């Protein structure tokens, strides 16, 4: 769900695109962050903590914590609250520490 109208803010979401979240196609916009698109699609759990495997979700939303770490196009530990959506990118839930694929 996205806010369509606001009394004092205008939204410039940019171009509509699609990307993949855990293999499922998700809709987003070029001017919104990955987590905003996932939130609009109903995704609340973004990963799990490294040691106790507790669920993690959006926390600070400004790039200052590690709560939203996800793997984006094989790059682990991407803060998806500050990275914008791109057509065709692959976003995966990250459970524990990220793994660098070589
Ligand atoms: S939610 Fe804190 S860095 Fe993204």
pTM summary value = 0.91
At 20 the pLDDT is: 98
At 18 the pLDDT is: 98
Percent of residues in the chain assigned helix, strand, coil, to nearest 5: 5, 30, 60
CB of residue 57 inside a 6 A radius of ligand 1: no
Give the pLDDT band of residue 99 (cuts 50, 70, 90). Answer: confident
Q: Which residue has the tokens 């809709």?
A: 27
Return the structure tokens found at 18. 């699609």
The answer to whether 81 and 63 have CB atoms below 8 angstroms apart is yes
Measured in angstroms, how far is the CA atom of residue 65 from the centroid of ligand 1?
5
The answer to whether 47 and 21 have CB atoms below 8 angstroms apart is no
List, in order of start, the domains of the chain with CATH numbers: 16-95 (3.10.20.440)
5-20 confidence digits (pLDDT tens)? 899 988 899 999 999 9
Q: Are strands 75-79 and 69-72 parallel, antiparallel or unpaired?
A: antiparallel
At 21 the pLDDT is: 98
CA distance 44 to 36: 10
20-78 confidence digits (pLDDT tens)? 999 999 999 999 999 999 999 999 999 999 899 999 999 999 999 999 999 999 999 99
CB of residue 64 inside a 6 A radius of ligand 1: yes
* Through-space distance between the first and last CA atoms of the chain, rounded to whole angstroms: 37
């Amino acid at each position: 769900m996205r806010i369509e109208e606001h009394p004092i803010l205008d939204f410039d979401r940019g171009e509509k695109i699609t990307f993949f979240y855990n293999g499922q196609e998700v809709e987003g916009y070029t001017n919104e962050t990955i987590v905003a698109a996932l939130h609009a699609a109903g995704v609340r759990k973004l990963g799990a903590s490294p040691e106790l495997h507790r669920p993690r979700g959006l926390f600070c939303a400004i790039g200052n914590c590690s709560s939203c770490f996800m793997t984006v196009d094989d790059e682990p530990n991407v803060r998806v609250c500050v990275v914008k959506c791109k057509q065709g990118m692959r976003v995966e839930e990250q459970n524990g520490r990220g793994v660098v694929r070589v």
